[in-house]
Every structure is written in C-alpha cells, then in structure tokens.
Amino acid sequence: MNPVHEFLEKGDYSFDEGVAVLLCFSNNRGVNDFIVSSRDKRHLHYELARLSRYPRLEPIPGRKLPDCLTKKAAAPKVEEPAEPANPAATEQTPEAPTVDDTDTADGEEDTTTFLDLQHHKYTRLEDMPTPLTKELWVKNSDEYKELQHCHQMMKEANSDAGRADWRKKVHQLSQSIKDRWKLIDSEIERYQAEAEAKAKAEAKPGEKKPAFNPINARAYISKALKEEKWDDALKVEVQRRVDELLANDVTIGKDTRKRLAERGISL
C-alpha cells in the first residue's frame, strides 16, 4: 500500500505532519521550499494527493519515515468469536474493484486499479485553483462514477459479447480519466510556477520583465476558434494562451472575448 495513501486515509492532519510526509517522499526542492515558506496547506494537500497515486512509493534515500507514519494506533482487544458452524457462509469483506481482470486493446494486461483513477478522493474540488481545473475535476469525478457502473455491469454480463462491450467502455473511461488528470496536474504546476515567479518578481521590483510577443498566442487562439469542437486538451491550451495575453496586458478584441467566453474560457 502507498504510505501517503494510508496517511491521507486517516483523515485530518496538521500542516507540520503533512510537510514531514512530503519531505520524506518528494525530491522537488522548489515546490517543497515554496510550501514550507508559504504554509499553504491547500498546495500541500494537492502534492500529497498526487504522491498517493504512485503504486510503489519509497522514501527518498537517506530520509526516515516521520513519526506520523510509523506510529500506529493500538488495536483494541476483542474476544475471539466462536467458529461458525458453516465457515463457507461467513460474510466476506468485498475487495475494492479493479480493472486488472481485463485486457487492453492491444492484448496487454491492464493493471490499472481504481485507486489510480480516484484522485478526486484526496484532491478536493476546493483544492483546484482555477475555474478550468475545477471543471476538469468535476468531469473526472462524474466519469469515475460511470466507470464504477460499467465495471460492475461487465462483471454481471451473461455473455462474452456483452462483457466485451462493457470492457471496452471501462478502458475508454479509465484512459479518459487518466488523460484528464495529466491535464489537471500540468495546469496546476503551471499555476504554481507562475505564482512563485510573481512572488519572486515582487521581491525584486527593480528587475525588468522580458518583452512578450503576443503573435504566437493570438495565432493559436484564432486557429482554435475555427474548430467546431474542443477537447479538454485544446481548451487547456487556449486558456493558457489567453492567460499569457492578459498577464502581459495585451488587449483581446470584444468579438474574440465573446467567442472565448462562449467556449468556457475565463477572461
């Protein structure tokens, strides 16, 4: 079991406990220093949630597990129950559903577990820093529920053809969720990097900001607006170009702003 996953399963934790866990497993010095100095628990929780998704997470060499991970609550003493007359009838605790009993489209075994896909269980909607990341989070949360349903239907199918149809839906949804989490992660990394850069710039007001050329951003937005449908990846890229223009005080025309707003872009 992933130790960060177990840590988050326990529930609420102090900022110092969370930082101790983060520093044990994360080697990203820039992010670590920023969290420690800003004492931003939302940022801390996001980083811990991301670490909780790795199936084989080990401490950074030379770093010891913090006390909050090594200390375990004493198990309460209970009397041994009498052996049931029919052991086979003993109720079993159901295991968490997985999708590792299916095959991928190219015939390779899929070892994806639902733990890999339920990032939203630990990364909350309120942890999302922008309207776009909140929108993507909600989409993943909804698709995860649909994925659970499809997986259950696949297990209950009474024919090979029906099972194959549900299996295909399971793989499509699991891949969609994974791809969208990658977009969310990259967008939050960009947001955090910009926040760090802004903080550094404010600390050194004498430094000149490099000149920004809006041509490429404008061209990308113009081309994207000609597309009838946008997928999540394209929407994220357009939002990044718009944010670049706004951050550099570049004017966006009224008609363009209207068309972007209609596509759900924040201005």
Residues 203-234: tens digit of each pLDDT: 676 666 667 788 889 999 999 999 989 999 99
Q: Which residues of 204-217 are buried (b: 16+ CB within 10 A; e: fewer)?
A: eeeeeeeeeeeeeb
What pLDDT, on the 0 to 100 scale, is given for residue 256? 92
98 pLDDT more than 60: no
Structure token digits, residue 255: 């008609």
Structure token digits, residue 20: 């101790």
What pLDDT, on the 0 to 100 scale, is given for residue 76? 44
Mean of the pLDDT values across residues 36-46?
A: 81
110 or 178, which is more confident? 178
Between helices 29-38 and 160-203, what is the axis angle to 10°?
Answer: 70
- At residue 120 the predicted structure's pLDDT band, cuts being 50, 70 and 90, is low
At 91 the three-state DSSP class reads coil
CA distance 30 to 206: 23
Mean of the pLDDT values across residues 250-263?
A: 91
103 pLDDT more than 90: no
- The answer to whether the predicted template modeling score (pTM) of the entire model surpasses 0.75 is no
What pLDDT, on the 0 to 100 scale, is given for residue 121? 62
